Amino acid sequence: MKIVTPAEGKENLSVKVRMIQFTQQYGIFLALVACCVFLTFANEYFLTTRNVLNILRQTSINGILAIGMTFVILTRGIDLSVGSIVAFTGVVAASLATTSSSAMVAGGPYPAIIAIMAGISVGMICGGISGLAVSRFHVPAFVATLGMLSAARGLTLIYAGGKPVPALTPEFRWIGTGNILGIPMPVVILVIVFAIAWWVLNFSRFGRYVYAAGGNPHAAKVSGINVGKIQFIVYAISGGLAAVGGMVLAARTGSGLTQAGIAYELDAIAAVVIGGTSLSGGVGRITGTLIGALLIGVMNNGLDLMGVESYYQQVIKGMLIVAAVMLDQSKNKH
């Protein structure tokens, strides 16, 4: 009998209780706003167009990875391999778009679109393999993607011969360094990816399937949903978006680096978790993920501006992750 429906409970709530509820509901968003307001006053450089675009650009890759991660975590999974896929797809695409004859795939440099398509395909295949292991062979997601984390990193080194792939065509580099109406391309890509993901999770049938398959796979299966297929697809999505992130990174740095993307999976998971998505599946919003990624970005930038050493930044980020989940847990208490 601990259930009180909102309609019954609302009348005699004090202002204080309501404020607590509001904080819990929009806590992460409020934290982001508070952070921005504080930094605006603390540092005159913070709220300049240049710096804001800078934050957005720095957030974009993690944001893109975190969006893919959200799909996976919503189905009770986890994808540890995205950092390695960033590197692998980066060198694959770079090898097709390089003008350096020693690193080039025969017949290159190919048009950027071909390099991009190849990169995304490779990412989706890597993700798909993890997905197959999870859905078909019932390997725990943690293990399947841990395997892919190692394998994809190894494949990166094998493919590139341990050396970076330099000198990418300007055409390819545009996706990392160019801009549309003054907005950097990585940010544009993040916005597009977010818009599609938002639509899919909120309005498409597949989105309904993802929430159901994560909330209760047995019930979803009995209701005619092919849960295995959904699992397979979300890992392919995560792999594909990791590839998008990988190519943006390669384009920005101008070369495909074999050491790119190390530990990126942790930031992506952090953004999802800070954004309120439950690791036990079925609960979470894609907007939360975006806010989570932005919060991490703003915090890193702010701490930089205030001259806090990067070592401390890691400690603060760690505390933020745990605090965000504590806030989420308090919501579930009565």
Partner 1 sequence: MNVPLLEAQGLKKSFGGVAALKSVDFCLMAGSVHALCGGNGAGKSTFLSIIMGIISRDAGQLKCKGELVDFQNPAQALQAGISIIEQELSPVPAMSVAENMFLGREPVNKWGVVSFKKMNAAAQKILDDLGFPLSAKQVMMNLTVAQLQLVEIAKALSYDSDIIIMDEPTSALGEKEVEQLFAAIAVLKSRGKGVIYVSHRLGEIMDISDHYTIFRDGQYIETGDIEDVDRNKLIELIVGRPLEEEFIKQNTPKDKIVLELEKLTNGELIQDISLKVHEGEILALYGLMGAGRTEIFENIFGLSREGCKLKIMGEQVHIKSAQDAIDNGLAFVTKDRKGSGLVMSEDVRANICLADLKNLGNAVKMNGKKEASAAKRMIELFSIKTASDKLKVSGLSGGNQQKVVLGKWFLTNPDILLLDEPTRGVDVGAKREIYRVMSEFAENGGTVIMSSSEIDEVLGMADQILVVRDGLISGEISRADATPQQLMHLSV
Q: How far is the CB of 74 from partner 1 (least distance, A)?
A: 10
Q: Are strands 179-180 and 183-184 parallel, antiparallel or unpaired?
A: antiparallel
* Residue 8 makes contact with partner 1 by CB under 8 A: yes
Q: Does 225 bind partner 1 (CB under 8 A)?
A: yes
Who contacts 12 (Cβ-Cβ below 8 Å, separation ≥6)? none
| Residues 75, 298: Cα–Cα separation, whole Å | 29
Give me the residues paired with residue 5 across strands: none
Asked if the peptide bond before residue 109 counts as cis, ω within 30 degrees of 0, the response is yes
Identify which range of 30-38, 43-51, 157-165, 212-220 contacts partner 1 by CB under 8 A.
212-220
By C-beta, is 19 or 219 nearer to partner 1? 219
Q: Is 40 near partner 1 (CB under 8 A)?
A: no
Cβ burial, residue 8 (10 Å; 0-12/13-18/19+): exposed
Q: What is the contact mask toward partner 1 in residues 250 to 289, using x (rule: CB under 8 A)? A: ----------------------------x--xxx------
Helix pair angle (286-305, 310-332), 10° resolution: 150
Question: Cβ of residue 62: shortest distance to partner 1, in angstroms?
Answer: 26
**Minimum CB distance to partner 1, residue 189 (Å):** 21
Among 53, 132, 215, 304, binds partner 1 (CB under 8 A): 215
Three-state DSSP class for residue 241 = helix
- Compute the distance between CA of residue 8 and CA of residue 4 in angstroms, rounded to an integer: 6
- Indicate which single residue of 48, 102, 204, 330 sits in contact with partner 1 (rule: CB under 8 A): 204
Interface residues with partner 1 (CB under 8 A) are: 1-9, 11-12, 203-209, 211-212, 215-216, 218-226, 278, 281-283
